[in-house]
Amino acid sequence: MIPLTSIRKAFKQHSQNHISQEAVIRVKDFLEEILNHFAREIEKEFHRYNEIRRLQGLRKKKRIPSWIVCKVSTKFLNAVANLNMGSQSLGVVSPGGEINETEVSPPKPAGGKDER
């Protein structure tokens, strides 16, 4: 579905290194899988849109509008961004970037001894 030459050109534009044929095929398979998932999500969103139109007494649309593609692509990109967030600190970080220890650990009793 996706031409291998397009993938090679993209790598050539962004890298001075060569890419093997096997790597190009793996990238192609990966992109096609994403494209298939993306198309399924667009179809679901379009179905929801037509269902709302039906409930309003409007005719069913037959062509997917560009705003649905934009909406689904934003969801996709946000999902990828959320995966890259990594572990989050349990400490409270001040604007300077330092962890405020008083917010992380419970306060000690007035006598100075911890009675746990």
Q: Give the pTM.
A: 0.63
User: Is 106 part of any domain?
Assistant: no
Establish if 18 belongs to a structural domain.
Answer: yes
Q: What is the pLDDT of residue 89?
A: 53
pLDDT digits (tens, 9 = 90+) for 9-41: 999 999 888 999 999 999 999 999 999 999 999
Domain count, the chain: 1
Q: How many Å separate Cα 17 from the centre of its chain?
A: 28
Task: Characterize 66-79 residue by residue with b for buried, 16 or more Cβ atoms within 10 angstroms of its Cβ, and e for exposed.
Answer: eebbeebeeeeeee
Q: Which domain holds residue 23?
A: 4-80
CATH of the domain at 49: 1.10.20
Asked, for residue 44, whether it belongs to a domain, the answer is yes
- 112 located within any domain: no
Residue 69 lies in a domain: yes
